[in-house]
Chain A
């Protein structure tokens, strides 16, 4: 490791924000499963590492009936996967959290870190997008709330400014009779990034929401496709239509994990499987 950094451990959010605003080359450390790889590989030159794990405000992990679930920046992926509320109310998120990387990494990695790293293939964003997640961002200037669908701006790029910290992610209460699923394709069973991953939600009113990763420069909430499908109504015919139509809404590339053509094909297959499982229809 070439970086010669000081390790800073604030105990109050305001102190962390002030430090961040006043010091260049400061990197925020939560789980570290992306940051420390970048340090080990000398991909970044850090002067300060700002460890936010000792800030109690960022530990928030609370569900309020009728309102929703707030997931603080220090909540790890395994804490998420093991949480009763997530298991029952946000199934797709639980499924995504359970398959992300490995047991060792899930014990360190955080949900907020996963979105801030902004990998187009990250496992958690599709399952957050279908629940209309919002991101609470803080800086010395104050707080702002951004819909997650506007948070990602490109490959490994987000709306987050250098002096800002993501405090938490909020998922509205989906209510009863809501169901969801996350299915992904990987090259091997076990530890791999997704080649394509699709999250679908069937809401209490019978409408669906669809989101997908690894097929564009950012994870995508496919609102237009969902609206068109909802207008048609869910049937075997419309599910088959959507599994073809989805190819017009995504722009995958060919890389080490898969070809563009394979991703287009699998996006359709996974969407079909998701909708079939959610609706109990045989397609």
Chain B
């Protein structure tokens, strides 16, 4: 059988509506990839968190800045690369919200959820690009 691969790359403005539209487009592809409902739930949550982070914290909703999203679906799983035009951040500076002293902190749980639900999550050295990967469990 020929290996399957679907790919698209888009650049969106830094607004939430455009972010939601691209998440829906990605989830339409994910829906055909044969993941479990739990995995689909985790992928939606993770992609949504990453796109929202890029728009809100990365580009700070600037109309002059874009978010680039590259999506790939293969037989092995899916890969989403999200890059903003902000100044980046250091993931290690985000406090661990599961520690008792941080439990009531209202922010910082998105990263933790992405790490839990995806197979791999990797930031560029500058911190303005993230790769999310979810592989099928064979």
Q: Do A and B bind each other?
A: no
- Residues of B near any A CB (own CB < 8 A): none
